[in-house]
Chain A
Amino acid sequence: MSGDGATVRIRPFKRDRDVEEWHGRYVPYDLAKEFVVAFLVVAVLVLLLAVVFSSPDEKPVTVKAWSTNLPVDFAQTAITELDGTSPTATYGPPYNPGSTSQSIGPLSLERIAGVHHPIDTAETDVLGPLRTLPDQPAVQQAVAEWDAASPATQAAWTAAYEKAVTNATYSDGQLHVPTGDYGPVGTMIGGLTAMARSGALDGALLSTGQFYGTDYTKPLLFIADGNYLSGLATSQHLGGDQWGMMNETGNYPGQAWLWLYTTFYQVRPFTTSANADFQVWSIMMFLSLLLLLVPFIPGLRSIPRWTRIYRVIWRRHYRELAASGSA
Chain B
Amino acid sequence: MTVSPPVTEADGHDDAPEPIHPEDAGQWTAKLRATAVEAFPPARILPDRQPAYVASALYVFGVLTMAALSIVILTGLVLAVMGPTWWHVSSTGLFVNSLHLWSVEAFFFFMVIHLWGKFFMAAWRGRRRLTWVTGVVSFLVSVGAAFTGYLSQQNFDSQWISTQAKDGINSTGAGAVFNVLNFGQMLMWHIVLLPLVVVAIVGIHLLMVRRRGVVPPFAPEAAPAPAGDTPVGSEAPVAATTAGEAS
- Chain A residues in the interface with B (C-beta under 8 A): 8-13, 15-22, 24-32, 34-35, 38-39, 41-43, 45-47, 49-50, 53-61, 93-94, 101-102, 109-110, 112-114, 116-117, 214-217, 220-221, 223-224, 229, 232-233, 236, 238, 240, 244-245, 248-249, 252-258, 275, 277-278, 280-281, 285, 288, 291-296, 301, 303-305, 307, 309-310, 313-318, 320-321, 326-327
Contact = CB atoms under 8 A, between A and B. Distances in A.
A233 to B, nearest CB: 5
A113 to B, nearest CB: 4
B244 interface: yes
Contact of A57 (B49, B88, B136, B163): B88
B50 A29 contact: yes
Interface of B: 46-56, 58, 60, 63-64, 66-68, 70-71, 87-88, 94-95, 97-103, 105-106, 108, 110, 112, 117, 119-122, 124-126, 128-129, 132-133, 136-137, 140, 143, 146-147, 150, 153-165, 167-177, 179, 181-185, 187, 215-220, 222-223, 225-226, 228-232, 235-237, 243-247
A94 to B, nearest CB: 5
A292 B133 contact: yes
A16 to B, nearest CB: 6
Contacts of B117: 313
B136 A17 contact: no
Given A13-B229, A244-B164, A294 B48 contact: no
A47 B103 CA distance: 9
Contacts of B157: 56, 58, 248-249
Given A35-B63, A41-B67, A256-B108, 11 more contacts: A18-B126, A18-B230, A21-B247, A30-B48, A45-B102, A110-B175, A216-B183, A238-B160, A253-B105, A278-B172, A301-B124
Contacts of A31: 46-48, 63
A97 to B, nearest CB: 14
Given A15-B225, A292-B133, A301-B124, A27 B50 contact: yes
A292 B173 CA distance: 22
Contact of B225 (A11, A13, A296): A13
Nearest to B110: A42
B67 A278 contact: no
Contacts of B101: 50, 55, 252
Given A249-B156, A296-B129, A46 B71 contact: yes
A35 B120 CA distance: 24
Given A55-B98, A60-B159, A292-B133, A19 B236 contact: yes
A268 B49 CA distance: 53
A59 B89 CA distance: 11
Contacts of A294: 119, 124, 132
Given A280-B168, A304-B120, A318-B217, A12 B229 contact: yes
B165 to A, nearest CB: 7
A49 B51 CA distance: 36
22 contacts: A9-B231, A10-B229, A13-B228, A17-B235, A18-B126, A20-B219, A26-B245, A32-B46, A47-B99, A55-B102, A57-B97, A60-B158, A94-B179, A113-B173, A215-B181, A221-B163, A232-B156, A248-B157, A288-B136, A292-B137, A301-B124, A305-B122
Contacts, number: 319
A179 B218 CA distance: 81
A314 B217 contact: yes
Contacts of A316: 53, 55-56
Nearest to A245: B164
Contact of B126 (A19, A38, A326): A19
B103 A13 contact: no
Question: 6 nearest interchain CB pairs?
Answer: A214-B184, A109-B173, A295-B124, A19-B126, A50-B98, A113-B173
A16 B124 CA distance: 8
A273 to B, nearest CB: 11
Contacts of B183: 214-216
B79 to A, nearest CB: 12
Given A220-B159, A310-B120, A39 B67 contact: yes
Contacts of A60: 154-156, 158-159
B184 A245 contact: no
Contacts of A8: 231-232
B99 A215 contact: no
Contact of A309 (B49, B120, B159): B120
B121 A245 contact: no
B232 A94 contact: no
Contact of A113 (B51, B63, B175): B175
A197 to B, nearest CB: 19
Nearest to A58: B156
Contacts of A233: 160
A66 B162 CA distance: 18
A110 B129 contact: no
Given A113-B176, A309-B120, A26 B51 contact: yes
A288 B120 contact: no
A41 B99 CA distance: 14
